[in-house]
Structure 1
């Protein structure tokens, strides 16, 4: 029986990457996409930030006030409100492509999905790595987004592995390497 092969796909800094699609000039600037609260002003939190902003320590979930403080020395920092209709439109295009590459597709959110590709790869992790790279290339060429894909024999390990080699990475954890991959990780690396 073929080994199960599961992809976890995570679109890198998705909301900010969508904003860069809309306005390519943002690619070189620190960009934070914000969920503003009803209290007005700078109340609310960062939904995501591009990697330029992350160099200043801006992170998802951070209060907007703290993010602005971290980006004080960057006069070209951009803070944008979320545009969920636009992000959903881009996500729908991406997920349509991803579905075509899966035997079984599981939508997790606008920027995340699991794919069971056991049948199409015949349980081969070598074939899976090639398929994952092909999928990344198609996504990049057709909708101009980068994503990180992790490949393993189950959803949990592929989810954990997708945090490695970001952005635009590809990580393969074969079944016989799961223990050595997970062993040194801190317990907080396990989602849930």
Structure 2
């Protein structure tokens, strides 16, 4: 006889988990219908697949694969540069749709969310299955993308359900059926249980989620720490993790790219990259955001990309803090003799300036000066346009002269 988790009641709570299918690639297909049905690879600017469409997955392509490997495997693959602002916009719209159905929405990531549906059957005069289907259909109709939905008594079980049928799936796990979905599910497939914990479980004779869920409370407390004790409760249908509707501390990514007259001049290529950084940081400051992770890329005349990721010790939205690191990163990706046509900067994992965690080694006096300086510059840019003041590194000697003649204003060399 099959063992069962302790919880057998169907709907003490109802938690929905929504997971967008191949989100970045699906957004690109929604925006450009000509890409539908084609193997789409997102991440061309980084030289690797950061997201792939289900058509690409069907051909064996996975996230993280290098572009040249993908071309050998799938010659007809379509490669696209990442557009994080576009994906963020779709994400915001998806979360807005979810909030039409319930005020309790947790933005778990850019393409995932939890929704508390408890008690809403009476409001909508239908089952939780039907509510889930309405949400799916609304997203498909308004955004042109598909999502997989799971509904169960807890967040962990809802995650199990949403992964059960992908893409475009809807799976509902009521209390009495929990054991049916856990009995063949490998323990490492459970949200919150990683490779090392799965290996430890195997030493204890636990290979499936059901074997873990049906262990006694005393056994779990003896062999596992608190987080896994909580997962054990969740697998048994007892909700431990509430849906948190508080706004996330992470916000959208900001990307700025510039295509220019092809050139071999190193100084000019770097100048365009600096201008991208200035514009990206200006937008971040306007929204009260900062970052400690930046991606820069340069594109050759024959559309080959080279990219580099920069990680800072602390968050910032001031180019002055980033320039030294970006200069070194640029040196690693620039190839002498190549002709370049585009540069780009992406600020990722943005967080609120108010939540910024400073470093012990920061010079607070210098930080205050930088902040005061950029506050003044931002006011001028907002009032007169962002080209009213630019960093000296943006322009080479010829461009400086042209800009002075055109704008009839002096260039300011600012030192901090």
Q: Which interval holds the TM-score relative to the shorter structure?
A: 0.7 to 0.9
Map of 2:92 onto structure 1: 92
- 1:121-140 superposed matches below 5 A: 121=121, 127-140=127-140
Whole-angstrom distance in 2 between the partners of 1:132 and 1:25: 29
Residue 103 of structure 1, CA deviation? 4.2
Q: Distance in 2 between matches of 1:160 and 1:104?
A: 20
- The SS at the match of 1:118 is coil
1:186 maps to 2:196? no
Q: Which residue of 1 aligns with 2:149?
A: 149
| Contact 1:103/1:119, CA 8 A, preserved across alignment | no
Q: The residue matched to 1:67 in structure 2 has which SS?
A: helix
1:54 maps to which residue? 57
Secondary structure in 2 matching 1:138 = helix
Q: With a CA cutoff of 8 Å and minimum separation of 6, indicate the structure with the bigger relative contact order.
A: 1
Q: Is the 8 A contact 2:42 2:81 kept in 1?
A: yes
Q: Are 1:173 and 2:173 an aligned pair?
A: yes
Whole-angstrom distance in 2 between the partners of 1:136 and 1:14: 14
1:18 corresponds in structure 2 to 27
Shift of 1:177: 1.1
Return the index of the structure with the highest Cα Rg: 2
**RMSD between superposed Cα atoms in Å:** 1.8
Q: 1:71 is matched with which residue? A: 74
Q: Is contact 1:133-1:170 (8 Å) kept?
A: yes
| TM-score when normalising by structure 1 | 0.86
| Residues 61, 175 of structure 1: alpha-carbon distance in 2 compared, 3 angstrom cutoff | farther
Equivalent in the alignment of 1:27: 36
Runs of 4+ residues deviating >6 angstroms: none
In structure 1, the residue matched to 2:161 is 161
Cα deviations by residue, 1:142-168 (Å, 9 ceiling, x for unpaired)? 222211110000010111221122111
Pairwise CA distance, 1:183: 1.5
Unaligned runs of 5+ in 2: 1-8, 193-416
Match of 1:157, SS?
A: helix
The answer to whether the Cα contact below 8 Å between 1:103 and 1:120 also exists between their aligned partners in 2 is no
Match of 1:120 in 2: 120
- 14-23 or 53-62: which moved more? 53-62
Distance in structure 2 (CA, Å) of the matches to 1:35 and 1:103: 38
Give the CA deviation at 1:65.
Answer: 3.5
Number of residue-to-residue matches in the alignment: 180
